[in-house]
Structure 1
Amino acid sequence: MSHQNYGIRSLIAFVSVPLAAMLVAGCSGSNTASTTTTTTNAVTGNAFVIGTDAPVAGVISFTTQIQSVNAIDSSGNSVSLVSGTPTVDFARYNGLQTLLDLNAVPVGTYNSVQITLGTTTIGYLNTQAGAAPTVQTEPATLSTSTIKVTLPTPLIVSQTGPVGLRVDFDLYKSIQVDSTGQITGNVTPTFNVTAVAPSDSGGHIDDFDAAVVSVNASGQSFVIQGPHGRQFTVQVNGQTEFDNSESLSDLTTSSIVEVSGTIATADSTITADEVAILSQDGFHAGGQVTYVQPPSGTATSFDLYVRDLLPTTTGLSLGQIATVNLTGNEKYFIYWMHNPLTQFLFNSKALLPGQHVSIGGPASGATNAQAVTAKRVVLRNWGFNGTVVAGSMNSGNDTFQMNINGFAGLLVPGPVTVYLGTATDFRDGLTSMTSLTAGSNIRVVGLLVKDPLSGNSVLLARHVDQLN
């Protein structure tokens, strides 16, 4: 097919919505499959996929195989928006979005979306006083594997500009619990789906981990391969910020990076606003710190619940807890924080249970999941759900306190002080700290750090979201 037959990219975002959106999620279960129509001479665009979540209490993973995601027009014609059958952990992202896929689809007007799920597993954290937490898993029983959602505003794919979908998966409403709050294993898949543009907040790529395939220094770009095998071109410019005082010239085919940015309107490449090199040695693992040894002072090791893994051929596996041994030679830095003082906020004395971190090093250091070694440890943003503590709002210090709940609440003792800055934004109905009310459900997306003076856990807020 000639280049002229390709239209604009459409985007798909896989996310779990804030609690407010959970309560109004418009979706319906359907076991009726639409006819898939393939037109070889159709004018097409492309679709990209993004992800986030809001975990139910105790749930640390919700892993499901995406059998298909199809857009359906008013005539019942269906087009596929996702290539292959990727496995996605919907509990991996909380308040952040990631790129999952980018595909060519025929231009047209689509009024609904049909999602088919395959094998699904729920993982939850099991904690015991004085012992390192463990992870328990159980298979999920879906009330329906095929869900059809009518779009409130049609998805119109044209050749004049990129469009997309934001597909929100509601973990809180989907996972069923009994009268005591225990997970039953039964799941009623609940989605909220809306059309978005790449310039919308729902179209931004907050967090995308990928391996570098090639670097084009003169073209100010590099090619990456994501966890599902697809390759994407990343463009950098004068506004792109590289973490840890590194640059495009530091990238090699052994680099694994985290990229934030948007899909470009002209050629559907990723325009990066932030790049961090997570590893220079071909191996990366990321996830939640669940245990630090010793609990205070200089850490000699920590346990990591593995959510991200590149490559997947080491001694580690997704969904397990691995032990990372520290030698004192590791390099520490913080994603999206360009300040020489970061070394005082995050180091081997500042590791905390609940932090979202990445480790990077040679694959030879990851052959044994109980004795992993790394060269880099990177602190990253993550979303912490909880409730606002009454009387804690301090406008003079731009702080308030929250009690963290969900599985992170099992790791982080409360209450936790939240620090606001000039770059903190309030979303989903909140406009400022004055919008907060005692006991309200919120999510703070940011960095969990140890106060160097008190030793207490504090949050540096990037986003504050209303959840009800």
Structure 2
Amino acid sequence: MERIIRTPRVWPGLLVLALAGLGLSCGSKTPVGPELAKSGTVYTYIGDSPACDVLSFRMNISGLAFRRSSNSSSFATVFPTQSIYYSLHMDYAALRDYFTIMYLAALQEDTYDGAQLTLTLPKIAIYDSSVDPPIRVLDGVLSTTTPLVPLQPSITVSSTKLNVLRFDFDMSKSLQLDAQGQVTADIIPVVTATPVNAAADNTYGTLDDLVGFISQVSPTPTGTFIGTFKLQLHSGSGQGVPISIKPDTSLSGVPDLKSLETGRVVEVMAKVDSVGNIVAENVEVEDRAVAEENRIAFFGTVLPTPVLDASGNVTQFKLYVRAMEPDKSLDVPLDSIVIVNISPATGFQVSPRPENLTPLQFGATSITVGQELLVHGQYTLTTGQPTVIDANSIYLRRQTVQGGLSSFIQVGSDGKSGAFWLSGCSTLLQSTPIMVMTTAVDTAFVNVFGLAGISPQATLFVRGFPFFVKDATVIRGTPVPAGTLVLFATQVRQAI
């Protein structure tokens, strides 16, 4: 995502939307596009809160403009313009409590007190076991397609520093319910926007879930970086974002930067430095997508009921398709259900690997209903039949599980390490016991001080890798019954 100019090593206008929790910004050292007079860098973020059985909540962002504080009728348009058009594919249910990039752009130096989004093509996908197939897709009806979001406080864009702005999208409040508590097609966008200040280390937060495919690799050292690659986000609907690689960046899946290929699907954890570079901490390098050969990456949720062999290995399962990299939705529609075949040659991994704080390994016995997976493989189309994917590799992804405290298993003397049973909110997770494990070092508690502060009546959002444990075992001194979904929490957030 470029289309930016920089003034003394600063992006003149970067705009980034992050989905489902908080957002992050991005940057690069390579100026792209015409130089703007007195431009400054701006980053924008978006977040959301999930509804229980909503599998996907998509709206394209087809326009973005900022209102000048000096004149309530004067806007600085980022896109669309005569030369720039984007319709960014955003799924607000996909990145709960994670950050990703929406857009980077040049914004004229000024003070702005509002941001106007243009939202199009709203769709809501809901898991509903009473229908066959068990997916209801609603064409959303927006109360407004151009919500004006106040910037609180206002932001003064300067060419001498990086300006970062975060949007938080509240999905649970935006979706409307009927008298029976069912999600309706009505959508009232609830969005807040807040400027983000630099942290003590002069970075602007962590992008912990940048997902896309590589469109360009440059292994040429520049300054403190050993090279860069360009990451195409949002299934190809957005810009290409330059990712800077340090000597100590972890490249999981390849030996070095020179081994990267265009077309590879990657998941990136990165930080944004003071001049706007997106500096990778970890890059999970996955399979190479070849759209012409029907070999792509499918993101989705495991649906009932996986097929097992005599040893308890999953050999086939149904996957709800939330997204693809790259986009092949003309062949395989979004919100459809595909059949995934697993063979002895199928590889298994978690992503990102540094976030796996568990002694558990992901494999064919670890797949269960409700998990969010990334499946790489070649698909086959058959008229009148579900699409079949022969899986080459399957990645267990971090996810945020919504639910409530059922009971404590143990609480350590530090008040933060321990374990508890979580009652899952989603219908897909209600048939599987969920054990949450926490530590004082690895688990962040948000809106609550440790385990003892969790209210039994509160809604919790627990983030981590959900490992299905087929056989009874003991993990960190805690007995785990057979058939348990174990979630090592990197974050426990209590709703307020």
Given the two structures, how large is their TM-score scaled by the length of structure 2? Answer: 0.80
What SS does the corresponding residue of 2:16 show, helix, strand or coil? strand
CA contact 2:21–2:95 (8 Å) conserved in 1:
no
Report deviation, 1:9. 4.5
Which residue of the partner structure matches residue 396 of structure 2? 379
From the superposition, tell whether residues 211 and 12 of structure 1 become closer, same or farther in structure 2 (CA, over 3 Å).
closer
1:116 counterpart letter in structure 2 = T
1: CA distance, partners of 2:357 / 2:21: 34
Does 1:438 pair with 2:453? no
1:211 counterpart letter in structure 2 = F
2:423 counterpart letter in structure 1 = N
CA contact 1:290–1:411 (8 Å) conserved in 2:
no
Q: 5 Å matches for 1:265-344?
A: 265-266=274-275, 268-282=276-290, 283-294=296-307, 297-313=312-328, 315-338=331-354
1:442 counterpart letter in structure 2 = L
1: CA distance, partners of 2:151 / 2:45: 18
What SS does the corresponding residue of 2:217 show, helix, strand or coil? strand
Does 1:346 pair with 2:355? no
1:406-428 alpha-carbon deviations (Å, 9 max, x no partner): xx343343541101135533343
Q: 5 Å matches for 1:3-82?
A: 4=7, 7-16=11-20, 42-76=37-71, 77-81=74-78
From the superposition, tell whether residues 255 and 366 of structure 1 become closer, same or farther in structure 2 (CA, over 3 Å).
farther
2: CA distance, partners of 1:247 / 1:446: 28
Identify which range, 344-353 or 199-208, moves more after superposition.
Answer: 199-208
1:272-317 alpha-carbon deviations (Å, 9 max, x no partner): 1121123134421112222342257111112222222112237323
From the superposition, tell whether residues 467 and 60 of structure 1 become closer, same or farther in structure 2 (CA, over 3 Å).
same
Identity of aligned residues (%): 23
What SS does the corresponding residue of 1:173 show, helix, strand or coil? helix
Does 1:216 pair with 2:230? no
Report deviation, 1:168. 1.4
1:105-161 alpha-carbon deviations (Å, 9 max, x no partner): 112221112223223121111125xx9862111112222222222222122221232
What SS does the corresponding residue of 2:122 show, helix, strand or coil? strand
Does 1:180 pair with 2:180? yes
Q: 5 Å matches for 1:105-120?
A: 105-120=107-122
CA contact 1:10–1:157 (8 Å) conserved in 2:
no
2:297 counterpart letter in structure 1 = H
Which residue of the partner structure matches residue 162 of structure 1? 162
Q: 5 Å matches for 1:88-99?
A: 88-99=90-101
2:418 counterpart letter in structure 1 = D
Which residue of the partner structure matches residue 30 of structure 2? none
Report deviation, 1:247. 4.0
Q: Which of 465, 469, 484 lines up with 1:456 in the alignment?
A: 484
1:28-56 alpha-carbon deviations (Å, 9 max, x no partner): xxxxxxxxxxx985322344454543221
Report deviation, 1:339. 9.9
Identify which range, 344-353 or 419-428, moves more after superposition.
Answer: 419-428
CA contact 2:7–2:39 (8 Å) conserved in 1:
no
Q: Which of 416, 421, 430 lines up with 2:434 in the alignment?
A: 416
What SS does the corresponding residue of 2:447 show, helix, strand or coil? coil
2:157 counterpart letter in structure 1 = V
Report deviation, 1:342. 7.6
From the superposition, tell whether residues 211 and 68 of structure 1 become closer, same or farther in structure 2 (CA, over 3 Å).
same
What SS does the corresponding residue of 1:100 show, helix, strand or coil? coil
Identify which range, 82-91 or 302-311, moves more after superposition.
Answer: 82-91
From the superposition, tell whether residues 347 and 415 of structure 1 become closer, same or farther in structure 2 (CA, over 3 Å).
closer
Which residue of the partner structure matches residue 251 of structure 1? 260
Identify which range, 84-93 or 5-14, moves more after superposition.
Answer: 5-14
2: CA distance, partners of 1:464 / 1:340: 16
CA contact 1:138–1:185 (8 Å) conserved in 2:
yes
What SS does the corresponding residue of 1:180 show, helix, strand or coil? coil
Report how many aligned residue pairs link the two structures: 441
Identify which range, 450-459 or 6-15, moves more after superposition.
Answer: 6-15
What SS does the corresponding residue of 2:369 show, helix, strand or coil? coil
2: CA distance, partners of 1:108 / 1:58: 43
From the superposition, tell whether residues 455 and 57 of structure 1 become closer, same or farther in structure 2 (CA, over 3 Å).
closer
From the superposition, tell whether residues 84 and 48 of structure 1 become closer, same or farther in structure 2 (CA, over 3 Å).
farther
Which residue of the partner structure matches residue 360 of structure 1? 376
1: CA distance, partners of 2:143 / 2:86: 24
What SS does the corresponding residue of 1:102 show, helix, strand or coil? coil
2:392 counterpart letter in structure 1 = K
2: CA distance, partners of 1:224 / 1:217: 14
2:493 counterpart letter in structure 1 = D
CA contact 1:15–1:169 (8 Å) conserved in 2:
yes
CA contact 1:316–1:366 (8 Å) conserved in 2:
no
1:247-288 alpha-carbon deviations (Å, 9 max, x no partner): 43431113111112123332x332111211231344211122
1: CA distance, partners of 2:352 / 2:418: 20
Report deviation, 1:330. 1.0
2: CA distance, partners of 1:214 / 1:119: 30
2:283 counterpart letter in structure 1 = V
Which residue of the partner structure matches residue 388 of structure 1? 405
Does 1:467 pair with 2:474? no
CA contact 2:36–2:106 (8 Å) conserved in 1:
no
1:36-94 alpha-carbon deviations (Å, 9 max, x no partner): xxx98532234445454322122212211223222212123312345522232211211
Report deviation, 1:443. 0.5
CA-based RMSD = 3.0
Structure 1 unaligned regions, length at least 5: 19-38
Which residue of the partner structure matches residue 235 of structure 1? 244
From the superposition, tell whether residues 48 and 360 of structure 1 become closer, same or farther in structure 2 (CA, over 3 Å).
farther
Report deviation, 1:8. 4.3
1:173-194 alpha-carbon deviations (Å, 9 max, x no partner): 1111111112232121111211
Which residue of the partner structure matches residue 22 of structure 1? none
Given the two structures, how large is their TM-score scaled by the length of structure 1? Answer: 0.85
Structure 2 unaligned regions, length at least 5: 23-33, 80-84, 291-295, 473-481
2: CA distance, partners of 1:360 / 1:253: 16
What SS does the corresponding residue of 1:172 show, helix, strand or coil? helix
1:187 counterpart letter in structure 2 = I
Identify which range, 273-282 or 377-386, moves more after superposition.
Answer: 273-282
